[in-house]
Structure 1
Amino acid sequence: MEPAEVIAIIQQELPQLVAQDPLVRDFVLRTVSEFYISRHEADSKFDRILAELQRDREEQTRKWEEQNRKWEEQAGRWEEQAGRWQEQARRWEEQDRRWQEQARRWEEQDHRWQEQARRWEEQDRRWHEQLAEIRRLDKRFESTIGALGSRWGIASEASFRSALAGILTESFGVDVLNLTLYDNEGEVFGRPDQVEIDLIIKNGMTIACEIKSSIDKAGMYIFDRKVNFYARHAQRDISRKIVISPMVDHRALPVAEALGIEIYSYADAVEGLSEE
């Protein structure tokens, strides 16, 4: 019989024999046991595989849960950070609003300062105009008052001279002379001019007197030159030199002292005439 025929018969009869005859079934199982594991081993291995799969799934689930927890924590942190950013953005917006408000106030304040500066400039311009007007008027008044003062001084000097002459003549019995000489050489004023001098004479004593509404240092020097000019040309000694004036420049006082000039403020204050 050919092998092929044997195989065909085994394939046809073996399933029925295995099912009916336990010995045949055991024989077949022992024969193929080297090539296949037993059901118990298969179930045990399958159980182990399932257990490993279960453990892997639980571990993976644990990892996923841990990762989800981390993601949730991170999401919470992101949400918290987003809240902080929103709060910071709100603060920045509020600060920006305040800066804009402050800038508006500064702009308004700058506008007010500019307006105030314009008013100050306008006021300063008016002050300068008023000051210029005051100075102009002051020059006019000063010129007018100066002219009036000069006229008043001349008139008052003449009145004062007449009063002095009356007082000294009537009360002290002296002679008061008002002389006008001509200085051809310009000894007194530096050029030829008339020289006027007042003299008080008593018992041969000659007193030169200068009556002025006001006198300064230059006036003192001129008075001294007038006295020297008269004494030289009249060949008369001058006993005393007197200046009578209500207004004497303080700088003229040391000059008067150096030149031996006596200063009096009033005509009746002149001393020493009644005793001579």
Structure 2
Amino acid sequence: IKVEELAEAQKRTEIKVEELAEAQKRTEIKVEELAEAQKRTEIKVEELAEAQKNTELALKDLARTVEFKIGGLGRKWGVESERSFRNGLTTILSDTGYEVLNYIVRDTEGFVFGHPSEIEIDVIVTGGKTLVVEIKASVSKSDVFVFLKKGEYYTKITGKKIDRMIMITPFVEDQAREVADQFNVTICDSITDLATSISP
């Protein structure tokens, strides 16, 4: 009986060993599958990293292109262009019934710039309203503050109330637009904006 029991126990042990061997085999297969999946993941990560690198290079190229074009626009819109645009605008508005005035005065006390200087202020009168206008190739935050000082100076020397202050420009910095909105200065960077702003 003991021998039979031992033989039965041995048989059960062998079955367990076979089951463990089978389980080990399945585990090894799973490990291989995980290793293969990991390898594919690493390849994907490398591909994504390469794509990200290419995207960053493309964005840098785009930024350089935009900067170049804006720089070209700024160069084209120099002082002479500002004068030409002002003269053309004056002619068009005068022909359509607007009164356009150009003040060139000597600010002897340095009210606008902090030192004595010549100040130029363009004014459009329409429907009984006075619009102070500034035409610039580009507008920065400091340009808006200077324009506000010009408006104050105009009121000081003429005693007239300003109904609207308008800056006309093809390029405006984001900070300049924020300051303009804060102080109710209208910035026109398109013909549509300009037409709407000067309408009676």
* TM-score interval for Structure 1 and Structure 2 normalised by the shorter chain: 0.5 to 0.7
Over 3 Å counting, the alpha-carbon distance change for 1:112 and 1:156 in structure 2 is farther
**Correspondence for 2:7:** 82
- TM-score, normalised to structure 2, is 0.65
Structure 2: how far apart are the matches of 1:187 and 1:84? 109
Structure 2: how far apart are the matches of 1:134 and 1:194? 47
The answer to whether the 8 Å contact 1:188/1:225 transfers is yes
**Correspondence for 2:158:** 236
Question: Could you list the per-position Cα deviations for residues 3-39 of structure 1 after superposition, in whole angstroms to 9, with x for gaps in the alignment?
Answer: xxxxxxxxxxxxxxxxxxxxxxxxxxxxxxxxxxxxx
The answer to whether the 8 Å contact 1:207/1:239 transfers is no
Over 3 Å counting, the alpha-carbon distance change for 1:262 and 1:93 in structure 2 is closer
CA shift at 1:191, angstroms?
Answer: 7.0
Over 3 Å counting, the alpha-carbon distance change for 1:188 and 1:119 in structure 2 is farther
CA shift at 1:112, angstroms?
Answer: 1.5
SS of 1:266 mapped into structure 2: helix
Aligned identity (percent) is: 22
Q: Which runs of 5+ in 1 are unaligned?
A: 1-73
Matched, 1:96 2:21: yes
SS of 1:208 mapped into structure 2: strand
Which of 57, 60, 77 is the equivalent residue of 1:133?
57
Q: Which runs of 5+ in 2 are unaligned?
A: none
Over 3 Å counting, the alpha-carbon distance change for 1:105 and 1:207 in structure 2 is closer
The answer to whether the 8 Å contact 1:180/1:196 transfers is yes
Structure 2: how far apart are the matches of 1:187 and 1:216? 20
Matched, 1:252 2:177: no
The alignment's C-alpha RMSD in Å is 4.1
CA shift at 1:184, angstroms?
Answer: 7.7
CA shift at 1:220, angstroms?
Answer: 3.2
CA shift at 1:137, angstroms?
Answer: 0.9
The answer to whether the 8 Å contact 1:211/1:245 transfers is yes
SS of 2:177 mapped into structure 1: coil
**Correspondence for 2:89:** 164
The answer to whether the 8 Å contact 1:220/1:255 transfers is no
SS of 1:239 mapped into structure 2: coil
> What code does the residue aligned with 1:270 have?
I
> What code does the residue aligned with 1:266 have?
L
Correspondence 1:154-193 to 2 at 5 A: 161-172=86-97, 174-177=99-102, 187-189=111-113
CA shift at 1:123, angstroms?
Answer: 1.8
Count residues in correspondence. Answer: 188
**Correspondence for 2:134:** 210
Over 3 Å counting, the alpha-carbon distance change for 1:187 and 1:85 in structure 2 is farther
Over 3 Å counting, the alpha-carbon distance change for 1:121 and 1:263 in structure 2 is closer
Correspondence 1:15-26 to 2 at 5 A: none
Shifted more, 261-270 versus 87-96: the winner is 261-270
Larger radius of gyration: 1
Structure 2: how far apart are the matches of 1:79 and 1:186? 119
Structure 1: how far apart are the matches of 2:63 and 2:198? 38
The answer to whether the 8 Å contact 1:199/1:209 transfers is yes
Question: Could you list the per-position Cα deviations for residues 110-153 of structure 1 after superposition, in whole angstroms to 9, with x for gaps in the alignment?
Answer: 43244224313422431342133123213312311321343466
CA shift at 1:245, angstroms?
Answer: 4.5
Over 3 Å counting, the alpha-carbon distance change for 1:86 and 1:159 in structure 2 is farther
**Correspondence for 1:51:** none
